[in-house]
């Protein structure tokens, strides 16, 4: 299943089951994170392409549900790495600088 479809399904199920929005958001984020490959088992380019695909899926989901921030996935990833300058090469490749 494409990521944007999975996120939409997860969101709709969460809302219909009256799950708190904070928990739904965590589940959405967990789904995105679960799709990031282990960098030790793939090339740097494959890893970067995977992140781009995940970000694209997130953005498509946000078009369907505009209350969500299209930069949300990117912001989470940047915060997880504390915007560390040693990752600038990767940020550049992702178009995040």
Dihedral over Cα of 40, 43, 46, 47: its sign: positive
Q: Which residue has the tokens 């369907």?
A: 64
For the record, the structure tokens of 62 come out as 């946000």
In 21-87, alpha helices (H): 21-34, 44-64, 72-80
Closest CA to 70 of 60, 82, 81: 60
Q: The whole model's pTM is what?
A: 0.91
Q: What is the C-alpha separation between 87 and 66, in angstroms, rounded?
A: 30
Range of 82's domain? 3-94
Number of independent structural domains in the chain:
1
CB count within 10 Å of CB 11 equals 20
pLDDT digits (tens, 9 = 90+) for 86-97: 989 999 999 998
pLDDT digits (tens, 9 = 90+) for 6-52: 999 999 999 999 999 999 999 999 999 999 999 999 999 999 999 99
């Amino acid at each position: 299943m494409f990521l944007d479809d999975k996120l939409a399904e997860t969101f709709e199920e969460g809302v219909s089951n009256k799950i708190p929005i904070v928990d739904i958001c965590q589940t959405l984020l967990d789904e995105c994170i679960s799709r990031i490959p282990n960098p030790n088992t793939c090339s740097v380019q494959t890893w970067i392409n995977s992140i781009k695909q995940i970000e694209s899926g997130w953005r498509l989901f946000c078009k369907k549900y505009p209350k969500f921030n299209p930069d949300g996935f990117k912001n989470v990833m940047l915060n997880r790495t504390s915007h560390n300058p040693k990752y600038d090469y990767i940020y550049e490749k992702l178009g995040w600088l």
